[in-house]
Chains A and B, each alone.
Chain A
Amino acid sequence: MTATRRQVLNTGLAAAAVFLGLPRLASAQDVDAAIAEFTGGAEAAEEGVTLIAPEIAENGNTVPIEIDAPGAEAIMVLAAGNPNPDVATFNFGPAAGSQMASTRIRLAGEQDVVAIGRFPDGSFKSARAHVRVTIGGCGG
């Protein structure tokens, strides 16, 4: 087997990344795996969940989001472009007044935020929002 120049380069870069311990960004597989773990592999319809996030976040350290999935038992939130895509899972109990919650999250750059609701009938529904993260002008 002969390695192409690109393969060699990629291997070298991957090795360098491991060696330097650079934060690895989540791959599509990581995100899919996290979703599969939550859904057990079931399809998630793209409806029934509302995810509100700013189109442009002024700083990735503190990005306000709101999730709402009427009737859901639980909502999982993922940041598809973070080193680790997991953000939080909200489980709603019998005293919940709605299946809505707001929080503030960290985003390592422009990416999709994903919310997946699990419903009592075993179904899953999802929403996705694309967030651009501003590169600050001044370090201060």
Chain B
Amino acid sequence: MKTRTRLIGGTAGALALAAAGAVLADIGDDDELIINGEIEIVTGAPAPDFVEGLSTIYSGWVFRSPETQAMEQDDFENPAMIYVDQAREMFDTPMGSEGQSCSSCHEGGPEEFEMVRATYPQWDEEHGEVQTVEMQVNECLTERMGAEPLDWNGQDMRNMTALISAVGRGQIVDVAIDGPAQSTWEQGEELYYTRFGQLELSCASCHEQNYGNLIRADHLSQGQINGFPTYRLKDANIVSIHNRFRGCIRDTRAETFAIGSPEFIALELYVASRGNGLSVEGPAVRN
């Protein structure tokens, strides 16, 4: 295990370091995530240079119990795959006025999207904006298929993003943060370090400065989103990235931004980029 030299200074930082080290040490170096015995997942990697508060980035998987970890190691054990199967059916179902299905254009099937999850959100030249996977799916539906857009947080959209993630598992997250996306990325970074709510917590308060520590009886992760959408045992369903953001901000006792809002799109780009170097893992299984 690599030591964490750049973790925050001071006594609190030292304590956090010790606690995080202890927890991660418990998990052990022999813990490898290989899905279906064939997809090797990078669950720890050097942090991107711009993340000054971390030296190593970890998938949320390493913070989970052996039972939860095991559920992700085999697609039959992973309940999220139910929703991936539903999305595969939807992929071949004509929707909208043009009588087309996703597979009408994408003849290679969902596997054509192998690189999508690893590189989104990304700049869309035509629309002049940073787009998430949800926005790209709705662009196809409304602009090419003559269909109604899907609700960002609805089951159908979560299923479709789970499918797009599933076919990209094992790809290394590589989200572009420069060029035309840079200003959105900077807005996301600003949000990440802004303290919200009555508890005055930023994303970094928990997920950069205290990952590995206990929050109540639960181990805080680094808040990486490479495993999203993720199946949460608590919800017994798959959860979208923005829904998780909304939950976190609500837990700080703040008014949250809306799912699909410009703020959350910017935050998603920034948080995704903090995982540059980990594998796409979604749909993962978390508590």
Contact = CB atoms under 8 A, between A and B. Distances in A.
Contacts, number: 61
A59 B233 CA distance: 6
A137 B214 contact: yes
Contacts of A137: 214-218, 220
A58 B215 contact: no
Interface size for chain A: under 10, 10 to 19, 20 to 34, or 35 or more residues?
A: 10 to 19
Given A61-B233, A140-B232, A135 B244 contact: no
B236 interface: yes
B65 A62 contact: no
A61 B250 CA distance: 22
B251 to A, nearest CB: 5
Contacts of A56: 65
Contacts of B127: none
A40 B233 CA distance: 37
* Interface majority SS (helix, strand, loop, mixed), chain A: loop
B259 to A, nearest CB: 13
A97 to B, nearest CB: 18
Contacts of B287: 58-59, 134, 136
Contacts of A54: 65-67
A57 interface: yes
A138 B214 contact: no
Residue among A59, A135, A136, A139 having the largest count of chain B Cβ atoms under 10 Å: A59
Given A134-B287, A137-B217, A140-B248, A58 B243 contact: no
Nearest to A59: B233
A64 interface: yes
Interface string A56-84: 11110111100000000000000000000
Interface string B213-243: 0111110100000000000111110010001
Interface residues of B, number: 27
Contacts of B244: 140
B96 interface: no
Contacts of B65: 54, 56-58
Interface in B50-94: 64-68, 70-71, 79
Contacts of A64: 67, 70-71
B13 interface: no
B247 interface: yes
Given A58-B233, A59-B233, A59-B287, A136 B216 contact: yes
Contacts of A140: 232, 234-235, 239, 243-244, 247-248, 251
A136 to B, nearest CB: 5
B217 A134 contact: yes
A136 B220 contact: no
Interface string A3-35: 000000000000000000000000000000000
Nearest to B213: A137
Given A134-B217, A136-B234, A140-B235, 14 more contacts: A58-B64, A58-B67, A58-B287, A59-B232, A59-B233, A61-B233, A62-B79, A136-B217, A136-B287, A137-B220, A139-B250, A140-B244, A140-B248, A140-B251
Interface of B: 64-68, 70-71, 79, 214-218, 220, 232-236, 239, 243-244, 247-248, 250-251, 287
Interface of A: 54, 56-59, 61-64, 134-140
30 contacts: A57-B65, A57-B67, A58-B64, A58-B287, A59-B232, A59-B234, A61-B233, A61-B236, A62-B79, A62-B233, A63-B67, A64-B70, A64-B71, A134-B217, A134-B218, A135-B216, A135-B218, A136-B216, A136-B218, A136-B234, A136-B287, A137-B215, A138-B215, A138-B218, A138-B247, A138-B248, A139-B250, A140-B234, A140-B239, A140-B247
